[in-house]
Amino acid sequence: QVQLVESGGGSVQAGGSLRLSCATSGYTFSRMGWFRQAPGKAREGVAGIFSDYTTTYADAVKGRFTISKDNAKNTLYLQMSSLKPEDTAAYYCAADRSTRMVIGSRRLAPDSYNIWGQGTQVTVSS
């Protein structure tokens, strides 16, 4: 059974930093990503990393968030810096094993991923 387990969420003041982790089951994925969902809003893509090690970021987090992967530890990370109150949301790790290529905006589309973690809450206070 493929499982993704997030950790590292919490409460922080604006301008602070957090690092989210996503432990995988040791499977190889063609793409992995971080998504977030605030109350009353749709789930949105935050950052993605692909089998060719390219990365992509949502405009809202570019320059502040960094996605990375440690294959030896089977763990995906999201380093978040200069956090803003608008970053408050539940953050989800996601993955997909399909060899189907995704390009452009599809790289951060939720339906391009079919394996999801349970989420971890990030709250940024002003």
Supply the pLDDT for residue 2. 84
Which 3-state string (H, E, C) describes 68-89?
Answer: EEEHHHCEEEEEECCCCHHHCE
Distance from C-alpha of 14 to C-alpha of 85, rounded to nearest angstrom: 6
Supply the pLDDT for residue 100. 85
- Residue 27 banded pLDDT, cuts 50, 70, 90: confident
**What pLDDT digit, counting tens, does each position of 74-107 carry?**
999 999 999 999 999 999 999 999 988 899 999 9
34 close to 78: Cβ distance less than 8 angstroms:
yes
